[in-house]
């Protein structure tokens, strides 16, 4: 499992994560909601070991991300997709997807390429596998980003607003793939502003407010009057999101 225990993160005088507790079990889809600046991306970066913790502990299947000797193992188990695609422009889609399996997992090139083509096919990009990022639409590029994470066969898929740079049509393309992954049992920690989508695919929803994880509820309870909606901050957040 992915275990986040009493995590604290401070930038200068600001406490950005304040005692965050969260456990994600294999097979679960957990969405993280919260206003801009509430600490969602920072939490994802902490899980990756991209930020040093100022307190608490994060383990991925028991591997502590704060211990240099355990970080590589922890990272192998979690794949992350960010808002911006960060593909290598001089490599084709298949080149981007096979890179980490070759460099990190030491797969033979032929095997890595076959895996990359199979995964690109599964996200609907089989026919575009040899295109360069500049020749792809935003939605296609984000699907390459997703394929690149999936090529490492992560136990946990971390997604940070993967559709927020996309127009509605491209968003639908990418969400379709994510829904498919959720159905097939992929474990996901999903930061999003797509409330209705989160509601459809999540087992649980957690809400971050000013760095504190104030609510962690099964999806139906999160949206019920007596559950999440009983929290003024969540009711306010959801009504604002639905107006936008």
Ligand X SMILES: Nc1ncnc2c1ncn2[C@@H]1O[C@H](COP(=O)(O)OP(=O)(O)OP(=O)(O)O)[C@@H](O)[C@H]1O
Sequence-ordered alpha helix ranges (H) in the chain: 40-47, 68-77, 93-103, 109-122, 138-150, 168-183, 195-201, 219-222, 232-243
Residue 12, φ and ψ in degrees, nearest 5 = 60, -120
DSSP lists the bridge partners of residue 10 as: 15
DSSP code at position 162 = T
Residue 36 touches which of ligand X, Mg ion, none (CB < 5 to 8 A by kind)?
Answer: ligand X
Q: Measured on CA atoms in the order 99, 102, 105, 107, is the torsion positive or negative? A: positive
**Least CB distance from residue 152 to ligand X, whole Å?**
23
Asked whether position 59 contacts Mg ion by CB under 5 A, the answer is no
**Least CB distance from residue 220 to ligand X, whole Å?**
24
Q: Toward ligand X, which CB reaches closer, 34 or 145?
A: 34
Q: Toward ligand X, which CB reaches closer, 34 or 154?
A: 34
**Least CB distance from residue 201 to Mg ion, whole Å?**
19
Q: In this structure, are residues 185 and 27 in contact, taking their beta carbons and an 8 Å threshold?
A: yes
**Least CB distance from residue 177 to ligand X, whole Å?**
22
Residue 34 touches which of ligand X, Mg ion, none (CB < 5 to 8 A by kind)?
Answer: ligand X
**Least CB distance from residue 47 to ligand X, whole Å?**
12
Tokens of 151: 């090529």
Q: Toward ligand X, which CB reaches closer, 92 or 192?
A: 192
Burial class for 124, CB neighbours closer than 10 Å (0-12, 13-18, 19+): middle
Interface ranges with ligand X (CB under 6 A): 11, 16, 34, 36-42
- Segment near Mg ion (CB under 5 A); pick from 40-48, 60-68, 70-78, 228-236: 40-48
Q: In this structure, are residues 122 and 160 in contact, taking their beta carbons and an 8 Å threshold?
A: no
- Segment near Mg ion (CB under 5 A); pick from 33-41, 71-79, 98-106, 170-178: 33-41
Q: Toward ligand X, which CB reaches closer, 9 or 128?
A: 9
> Alpha-carbon distance 96 to 98, whole Å?
6
Among 31, 41, 48, 192, binds Mg ion (CB under 5 A): 41
The residue ranges that bind Mg ion (CB under 5 A) are 40-41
């Amino acid at each position: 499992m992915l275990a986040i225990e009493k995590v604290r993160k401070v930038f200068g005088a600001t406490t950005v994560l304040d005692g965050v507790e969260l456990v994600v079990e294999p097979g679960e889809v957990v969405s993280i909601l919260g206003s801009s600046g509430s600490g969602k991306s920072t939490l994802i970066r902490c899980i990756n070991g991209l930020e040093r913790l100022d307190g608490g502990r994060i383990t991925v299947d028991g591997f502590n991300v704060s211990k240099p000797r355990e970080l590589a193992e922890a990272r192998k188990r979690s794949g992350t997709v960010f808002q911006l695609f960060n593909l290598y422009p001089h490599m084709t889609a298949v080149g981007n997807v096979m890179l980490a399996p070759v460099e990190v997992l030491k797969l033979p090139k032929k095997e890595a390429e076959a895996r990359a083509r199979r995964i690109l096919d599964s996200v609907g990009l089989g026919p575009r596998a040899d295109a360069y990022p500049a020749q792809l639409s935003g939605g296609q590029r984000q699907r390459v980003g997703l394929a690149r994470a999936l090529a490492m066969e992560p136990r946990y898929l971390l997604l940070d607003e993967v559709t927020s740079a996309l127009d509605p049509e491209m968003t639908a393309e990418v969400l379709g793939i994510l829904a498919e992954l959720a159905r097939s049992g992929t474990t996901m920690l999903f930061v999003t502003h797509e409330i209705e989508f989160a509601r459809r695919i999540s087992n649980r929803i957690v809400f971050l407010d000013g760095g504190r994880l104030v609510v962690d509820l099964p999806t139906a309870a999160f949206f019920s009057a007596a559950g999440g909606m009983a929290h003024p901050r969540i009711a306010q957040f959801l009504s604002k999101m639905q107006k936008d």
